[in-house]
Structure 1
Amino acid sequence: MSGDDAQQHIYKTHGLLLNPIMCGVCGWQFYTLGIYNAHQWMQYGERPHAFRCHAQYL
């Protein structure tokens, strides 16, 4: 199981990421992928996307 697969398992099973994701612009840390995606959209002006298929939404 790769690191990404392990993070996905933890997120699906437990709802939180084991290691927080840090924003490269402001340094804030996020423990859920959804909140990080929404924050990234605000920081970079990019729509959130699915990590596996890269489909954009919203």
Structure 2
Amino acid sequence: MATKKQSESVEALVLCDCGFGKAGEVVVLPLSDAEIGFSNGMLDLNIDAVKSARAE
């Protein structure tokens, strides 16, 4: 697996009210935080999910 820069940011869809934001919000987070939220089921990192949430 290729390593990524620590400073890289990603957009994510918040799936439940939590420390990352409220459910349904699109947030910009450091990659390391986004991976933690994703692995705990709090964030969706799929680009299509983010686009869909932005369109609403």
What band does the TM-score fall into relative to the shorter chain? 0.3 to 0.5
Give the TM-score taking structure 2 as reference length. Answer: 0.35
The answer to which structure has the higher helix fraction is: 1
Rg (Cα) greater in structure: 1
Give the TM-score taking structure 1 as reference length. Answer: 0.34
The answer to which structure has the higher strand fraction is: 2
